[in-house]
A and B are shown apart, each in its own frame.
Chain A
Amino acid sequence: EADIYQTPRYLVIGTGKKITLECSQTMGHDKMYWYQQDPGMELHLIHYSYGVNSTEKGDLSSESTVSRIRTEHFPLTLESARPSHTSQYLCASSGIGRNTEAFFGQGTRLTVV
C-alpha cells in the first residue's frame, strides 16, 4: 500500500499569513512533486525534486517555495498567502526504475480569505 501523507487536508487562512503544506512519504522514493489543481481543472506541476537538496520549478509558475532536506519530506511554503493562491495542492512521489508510477497524497485544499 502506497503511503504518502499531506497535512492539513483543509486550510482556511487570512491574507498575508505564512503557510507550510506538509508532504511525507514512507516509500523511500527519490522523486517528489507538487501539483496545483484549481476546482474542476487539470493538474499543473509547480515543483519537483529528484532527491535530497535538489528542487526545480515546474511548468506552472508559482510564488511558493519548496525544500528537500530529507528524502521522505517535501514541504511547500507560501511566505505571504493571497486569495489567488486558493487552490488544491497535491503532492506525489515516485521511485526510480522502469515500472514505477507516481503515487498521490489526498491533497490540501487551501482557501485564502
Chain B
Amino acid sequence: AQSVTQPDIHITVSEGASLELRCNYSYGATPYLFWYVQSPGQGLQLLLKYFSGDTLVQGIKGFEAEFKRSQSSFNLRKPSVHWSDAAEYFCAVGAAAGNKLTFGGGTRVLVKP
C-alpha cells in the first residue's frame, strides 16, 4: 500500500526567507509524485509533479521539488517566500499520472512579515 508522510505539521517562516517542506513516501514501484497547495476554504491547486526524468522539477509560483529515490523523498522548496504563500501544502503519490492519489497530512505554512 502506498503512503505519504509530511513530518512537519506547521512551519513559520519570515517573508523573504527560504522554505523547505518535507515529504516522504512509501510505494513499491516508480511513484508519480505531486505537490498541491490549498488556501483557506479553497480547493487544491497543483504546484508541480514528478513522473520521470530530471529529478529536480520546477513548478508554478517559484516552487521546485527534488525527487530522491534513495531517500524516498520529494521535498518542496522556495528560495524566497511571499506573504501570499501562506497556505496548506499537501504532498501526494499515485500509481500513475491519472490514478487515485494518496495524500500526506499536510503542512500549514505561516508567513511572518
Contacts and interface: CB of A to CB of B under 8 A. Distances in A.
Contacts of A43: 44, 90, 101, 103
Interface string B76-106: 0000000000000010001001111111111
Contact of B43 (A41, A94, A96, A107): A107
Contacts of A48: 100
Contacts of B36: 104
Contact of B97 (A45, A59, A100, A107): A100
Contact of A104 (B44, B51, B94, B98): B44
Given A90-B43, A103-B46, A42 B106 contact: yes
A100 B98 contact: yes
Interface in A83-100: 90, 92, 94-100
Interface size class on chain B is 20 to 34
Given A99-B51, A103-B46, A106-B43, A42 B97 contact: no
Contact of B34 (A6, A45, A58, A101): A101
Contacts of B108: 40
B100 A45 contact: yes
Nearest to B2: A59
A41 B98 CA distance: 23
A77 B97 CA distance: 28
Interface string A62-88: 000000000000000000000000000
8 contacts: A42-B103, A42-B106, A45-B102, A100-B98, A104-B44, A104-B45, A107-B43, A109-B41
Interface of A: 6, 31, 33, 35, 40-45, 48, 58-59, 90, 92, 94-107, 109
Given A31-B99, A97-B98, 16 more contacts: A6-B43, A40-B106, A41-B105, A41-B106, A45-B100, A59-B102, A90-B44, A94-B98, A96-B98, A98-B51, A99-B97, A100-B98, A101-B49, A101-B97, A102-B101, A103-B46
